[in-house]
Each structure stands twice: as C-alpha cells, then as structure tokens.
Structure 1
C-alpha cells in the first residue's frame, strides 16, 4: 500500500532499527517503547489486521510466532516472560492499519485481562 507507514518501512523508504528480517517479515524497535524491549513484528505483505488472515496466508502467523520466539531468546526476555499483542480496528486500539505484533518484555508487565 502506497501510504502505509509500515509498507514504507518494509521498502526502506523510512528508517527503522531492524532486529530481524527475512523474506516474509520485518521486526524493528518501536519508536515509543512501553517496556525495555518493545519490538514490532510485521508481515512484509500488507494485511490490514487479523481480519485479513485467510487460508492462503495462515502459515504466516505461525512464522511470526517463530520469529517472536527467536527475538525473545536473542534479547534475553524469554526466560522471565514477555507478551505478544496485536490490536484489531480502532476500538481495539489499532493505530496503524497494517497487521503488526508487539513483542514486549524486559520488566514485569501488569495484568490487564
């Protein structure tokens, strides 16, 4: 998508602090971190949110979780714990309408559910 900020990051039109990249996903540091480790993991393919996940791209979600596991181990947050969050639509807290997962950890996270 032309105007999507995350698509621009994927195309390297906007700089980011990349922590992982392969042919399907890009992971980079959040510019407004909520914890010592706050990484955004996005598919390179533009999907608006979880409602765009269908049979033809469902394997992408498993891949994203494998990437999250790798990053959690590499950053040292795997042992103590971390959170993976995705928001869906405006009332669900989604601000950027490109599917993305927040990998958050590095401190004790408060329960909200």
Structure 2
C-alpha cells in the first residue's frame, strides 16, 4: 500500500530523486536533504504507515528489522563505532512531535554531538 500524494512514497517509487543509502523489499533508506549532522539519513518502510501512532502488532517485525539494520548503516555512512562514537534514532510522531512528512520514518543522526543544534 502506498499513498500517491506522499512525498516519501514518491521517493520510494523513484518519482523523486534521492541519495539512496539502502533498499530491500520492505525498507528504503536515503540521505536527509537538510542534514543536522555529518551523518543524517532516513529509514522508511515501503509500506505507507502515516506515523508511529498507526503502528500495530503486525508491524513489529518490520520495525524490528529497521532498528536492527540502523547500526550497520550508521557505521557504513561514517558514524564512529560504539562506545566512543554512536548515533541517534529519532521517530517524530504527529504535529506536536515534530513530524513533517506523514509517512513513518526514522532519522539516523550521527557525528560529533549533532543534537546540539536543537
């Protein structure tokens, strides 16, 4: 299922260009167009889920795969290894949670203290 009006669905479909980090049958990852840190990419499910608020138990496997994949992609994209290095995973949910695109996505942000920007 996808939403023909969704920006991220269009990116996944190749209708809008992106700098791809990773893709498989269920997950698509690409660089953020306004990075907050030296490493900043988004991980999105190919399935259109508007936000974390719509996640159900049937999505547990998908979300688990996304979280399990994030450390490998973070290292491949240039994050320093744990424990001195590291990264953040952020999933904004709803307008009050700072979500701008209503397609579930996780920001993977790394580098020297990137969250000091806000």
TM-score calculated relative to the size of structure 1: 0.93
- Number of corresponding residues: 112
Structure 2: unaligned runs, 5 residues or longer: none
- Secondary structure in structure 2 of the residue aligned to 1:42: strand
- Secondary structure in structure 1 of the residue aligned to 2:74: helix
| Alignment check: 8 A CA contact 2:39 2:78 kept | no
Residue aligning to 2:67: 65
Question: Residues 4-43 of structure 1 correspond to what in structure 2 (within 5 A)?
Answer: 4-43=6-45
Residue aligning to 1:50: 52
Q: In the TM superposition, what is the alpha-carbon distance from 1:78 to its structure 2 partner?
A: 4.5
| Alignment check: 8 A CA contact 1:82 1:103 kept | yes
Residue aligning to 1:102: 107
Q: Separation in 2 of the partners of 1:46 and 1:101?
A: 14
1:84 aligned to 75, 84, 89, which one?
Answer: 89
- Secondary structure in structure 1 of the residue aligned to 2:71: helix
Structure 1: unaligned runs, 5 residues or longer: none
- Which aligned runs of 4 or more in structure 1 are off by greater than 6 angstroms? none
The two structures, once aligned, show a CA RMSD in angstroms of 1.4
